[in-house]
Structure 1
C-alpha cells in the first residue's frame, strides 16, 4: 500500500465484475438476498455479500441467447462499450444462478423459468461453476434466452487503488421470479439469508454482520422502498464510486467519497 501511495508501484488494474441485489416482497415489505462468504475464500472471507463475481471471457460470447434491452442500451447505462456491457449483463445472470440457484432466463421473451431445483439443474450449475460448461452452452442446451429486461442497473463501485485484488463492479437489481426459490448451494458461501435492508445495516452497525463498504452502501440505498416494483422503477444515475486509502498518523484509513449512501 505504501509503495503505491509513494508512487513506487503502479496500482493493479481492476477486473470487470457484476453483482445482483436480488429482492422480493415478504411480510408486507422488501427483503434482499445475502450470502456469507466462506472463511476459506481468498477474497473477503466471512463477509456478507450479494451474488456476483468476475466476468468470464466467455460471457462476451455473441451466441448467448438474449432478449430485452440490447447491449448498446446497457453500454450507455453502465458506462461501458457494447461488448463489455454484454459481458457484464451475462455475468450478472450467470453468477446469480451459480450462487443462489435463481435464473433470470426463460423459454421466450415473455416467460421465465418456473423452478430450477432438481438434480439436472444442479449438475448444470456445478458445471458452470467449474467452467466446464459455458453460459452460452447452458442456455442453448436448455433452449433458454437470457432475460436482460429483468435486470436494472443500480450502482458502480471500484476497489481502492491500493488493494492487490481490484474489481470494477456494476451492481444490478432484480426481483426473484415467481415460482423460483433461492437455495443454499454451498461452495463459496457458508450461510445464506433473506433480510430487510435496514435490518442488515443494523446488523453491520452492531458488528454482527461483516460487510465491505459497497455492500453496506447498496443495502442502505434500498431502505425506504416498500416493494420490489418500486425498486425496478427507481431512476438511478450510475456514477463510479471509488473509495481511497489515506495515510495519517494513526495509520492507513479508508475514505468513502462524500455524497455516497454509506451509513456512518
Structure 2
C-alpha cells in the first residue's frame, strides 16, 4: 500500500465509536472488458454528498438486502457452498452475496448477469429498465424479478477476487466481497444511477495515473484491486487468475499529521492500533 494514499477529510470521526460499528455485508463487482489497449474496468465516481466515500471512485456495489438470501432464485453456476468456501461464510450468506453482486451491478450499471437459460445471457437489457428501477426502489426482489422475467442468475459469470473490511474507526463499516465479471456481449454499462456523478471505462494503469495526478480519489481497496488488475492485461487472464482470498482488515495509523491505512503484512500493521488515541492537542482528522 503506497504511503501516498491518505484518508480523505472526515473519513475518521473525531471520536472513535465505542463499541465499533458492526460491518454490513456487501458486494462489489469489477466489470471488465477488452479495449483497444488491453483490459478496461468500469468505474463510478460517487456523488460527493454521499454518506460513505462521497466523491471517491469505486466499482458498482452495495449492501446485502435481506431478500438477497431468497433460496428460490433461479441459479446456474457454482453452488452457494462453493462461494462460501472462497469467502469463508455459510452457504446462505454466500448465496446472498452473489445475489447482491448481481443485483447491485444491474442497479448501478445496467449490466445484467442473467439469461434465459444456463447457456445464454441477456444481450439487451433495455426491456428490463422498469425492473431495474423497481429493484432500486426495493419494490421487487432479485429472485422475484428473475422469476417474472423467466431468467436464470448466471453465477458462473462471476469470479471471487478479494475481501476488505472497513477499519473500526469508521462509523459506517462494510465487510465487502469483491467479484470480477466480464460484460456480456451486446450489453453496455451506463451511469443511469443517482449514486454516480460520472462513469468511465479505464485501463487500470490510466486510473492509477489519474489518482497520482489528483484527478481521482481512490480508497485503499480500490487502489489495490486496480493494481492487481494491472498485472492481468486481458479479460481472459483476469478471469482465470488464481486467487487465494483472505480477509483484509486495515488499521489506521498516523504519520506526519495525516492518516493512512496499513494492511495485513505491512511492517507497520502490528504496531497500528485498531483505534487512535490522540493527545490533548492532536486531532483525528487528516491535516
Superposition TM-score, scaled by structure 2 size: 0.85
- Residues 1:71 and 2:80 aligned together: yes
Give me the whole-angstrom Cα distance separating, in 1, the residues matched to 2:205 and 2:112: 26
State which of 24, 30, 38 in structure 2 corresponds to 1:21: 30
- Aligned counterpart, 1:123: 130
SS of residue in 1 equivalent to 2:42: strand
> Hey, what does 1:220 align to over in structure 2?
227
Displacement of 1:248 = 6.4
Q: Which range moves more in the overlay, 244-253 or 200-209? A: 244-253
Structure 1 residues 249 and 218: CA distance shift in structure 2, 3 A: closer
Residues 52 and 107 of structure 1, relative CA distance in 2, 3 Å threshold: same
Task: Report the TM-score, using the length of structure 1 for normalisation.
Answer: 0.92
Asked whether the equivalents of residues 109 and 193 of structure 2 are also in contact (C-alpha less than 8 Å), the reply is no
Deviation at 1:246, TM superposition (A): 3.0
Alignment partner of 2:46 out of 30, 37, 41: 37
Runs of 4+ in 1 over 6 A off after TM superposition: none
What residue is the counterpart of 2:100 in the other structure?
Answer: 91
User: 1:177: which partner in 2?
Assistant: 184
Residue 42 of structure 1 aligns to a residue in which SS? coil
Q: Is the 8 A contact 2:107 2:193 kept in 1?
A: no
Q: CA RMSD in A?
A: 1.7
Gaps of 5+ in 2: 1-12, 268-287
Q: Closer, same or farther in 2 for the Cα pair 1:36/1:144, shift >3 Å?
A: same
Gap runs ≥5 in structure 1: none
Q: Give the deviation of 1:183 after TM superposition.
A: 1.6
2:63 match: 54
